[in-house]
Structure 1
């Protein structure tokens, strides 16, 4: 089981905070540092000092880390034109020496679009399909050839399709709970399918749908990596677990039911349950970014038992 760090900077984090977390994650041998792509805080927090841009953040981290992989869960498709996004991700992949992973979603949080003047189209899934076609099409076009695309939402004509990522293939992540269109899209484009904040039962059902969609598309379901994202709240004692739950405004029992919470032994058992329904990778949503001891505890007491 590959354990990765997943952050939500829109809730209140500077670039320097994210850098500390990413460097700590690298030193502690987590598989990757990922972040959300949001411009507005959620819930009762004030979000101070304000949002950081996902791909500007990852560009900085690309130059200030050495080994850890970097990515998004998920880049919001409503924020960027796909041709521009292909350039941005390729450049960050070059800057990192080939450590980028590209998660793309349709975008869903209408309030942040209103807050920053970003159009929030009614038809988002169709746009997502075309964005994936454009981004991967640009990357896959051989150097010296041209890329043209005529879609309903996006049109590209005679593009040189540059720059190219450093990696021969940037891993593409697609995720979500949709029963039909999402698995079909994953079967067509994804290297990894992510199930965010889901029960064991829903995870197993969705993984099976993705495998079935892959088979229908003539692809081996084992070609994809299957992953979950769950909030983490781990402590050596009950008191420490409660302290960490209180710090993020959550209830311990709720976290145990819906996340990865409790003692290291409890969390190891919970991860094993997800592994039993097909999960190969776990994104640990770390909501208190000042608590680096939390990262260290998981690395020392959980990671060796699930790796």
Structure 2
């Protein structure tokens, strides 16, 4: 089981907060540091305010040396795909080929309203998402010296030099969601990884099944995708430590017993058992959602007492 660290900095984090967590994750042996791509808090003050995902990852590309870096997930409503393709390629070069692009339709209407970003209906967001996947992957795949044209309903490129090229050929793309018909088809066509976030083992297995079926329909080996899950983690050496960490989750805290039902919570042994249930559902990689960015001991505990048992 591959364990990655996943943060929600829109809840309140500076770049320095994120740098400390990313460096600690690298030093303790986690394979990747990911962050959400949001501009508005989901409860609480959100102070000191949002940080931009790709600005953050560009800096982390220079402040880390080996850990993989990415978004879970960037919103297709935030950036023109021609620009996003350049940004991801540049950060990939800055990191020496360690970047992954999680991309989705966008869903949080309030942050769009707060920052003046258009928020079209779901069908149009899905249409734009599909065109962005086609445009970005097509641009990266265009040989150096040739140009790239794209004619979609929402985006048009003519004579693009399709530069710069990323170090990786190409950077892995992550598509997430419930794996319903259209999302599963896009994952089968474009993704290196499918992520089912914050779902039960049964719902996760069902989503994976739909993606595998979509792969088979287009002649792709379903095993060529990685299958992952994002889950809140709250691990403690004893019940007091579990409860203390649970109080720092979200804007109002969470109940430890509820977390045991809907995440990865408890002692290291309990967390290992919970991860085992997701492994049985087909999960190969877990993004551990960390809320308290000052609690680096949490990462050290998971690395020392959970990871070695997997």
- TM-score tier, shorter chain, comes to over 0.9
Task: Report the equivalent of 1:77.
Answer: 76
Separation in 1, partners of 2:187, 2:116: 30
Task: Report the equivalent of 1:280.
Answer: 284
Task: Report the equivalent of 2:112.
Answer: 113
Separation in 2, partners of 1:247, 1:130: 39
Separation in 2, partners of 1:185, 1:198: 20
Separation in 2, partners of 1:178, 1:71: 21
Separation in 2, partners of 1:263, 1:232: 11
Bigger mean CA deviation after superposition, 224-233 or 170-179: 170-179
Separation in 2, partners of 1:69, 1:234: 23
Task: Give matches, 1:1-307, under 5 Å.
Answer: 1-43=1-43, 45-122=44-121, 123-248=124-249, 249-306=253-310
Question: Could you say what the CA RMSD is over the residues aligned between the two structures, in angstroms?
Answer: 0.6
3-state SS of 1:295 partner: helix
Indicate if the aligned counterparts of 2:7 and 2:36 stay in contact, CA closer than 8 A. Answer: yes
Separation in 1, partners of 2:159, 2:129: 22
Q: In the TM superposition, what is the alpha-carbon distance from 1:208 to its structure 2 partner?
A: 0.5
Please, which runs of 5 or more residues in structure 1 have no aligned partner? none
Q: In the TM superposition, what is the alpha-carbon distance from 1:179 to its structure 2 partner?
A: 1.6
Q: In the TM superposition, what is the alpha-carbon distance from 1:277 to its structure 2 partner?
A: 1.1
Q: In the TM superposition, what is the alpha-carbon distance from 1:82 to its structure 2 partner?
A: 0.2
Q: In the TM superposition, what is the alpha-carbon distance from 1:25 to its structure 2 partner?
A: 0.2
TM-score, normalising length from structure 1? 0.99
Separation in 2, partners of 1:60, 1:250: 32
Please, which runs of 5 or more residues in structure 2 have no aligned partner? none
Indicate if the aligned counterparts of 2:26 and 2:64 stay in contact, CA closer than 8 A. Answer: yes
Separation in 2, partners of 1:18, 1:135: 27
3-state SS of 1:136 partner: helix
Separation in 1, partners of 2:235, 2:99: 28
Q: In the TM superposition, what is the alpha-carbon distance from 1:178 to its structure 2 partner?
A: 4.3
Q: Give CA deviations for 1:155-214 in whole Å, capped at 9, x if unaligned.
A: 100100000001122101001014211111100000000000001110010001100100
Q: Give CA deviations for 1:204-237 in whole Å, capped at 9, x if unaligned.
A: 1000110010011100000000000000000000
Indicate if the aligned counterparts of 2:89 and 2:167 stay in contact, CA closer than 8 A. Answer: yes
Separation in 2, partners of 1:266, 1:113: 39
TM-score, normalising length from structure 2? 0.98
3-state SS of 2:194 partner: strand
3-state SS of 1:5 partner: strand
Indicate if the aligned counterparts of 2:179 and 2:210 stay in contact, CA closer than 8 A. Answer: no
3-state SS of 2:149 partner: strand
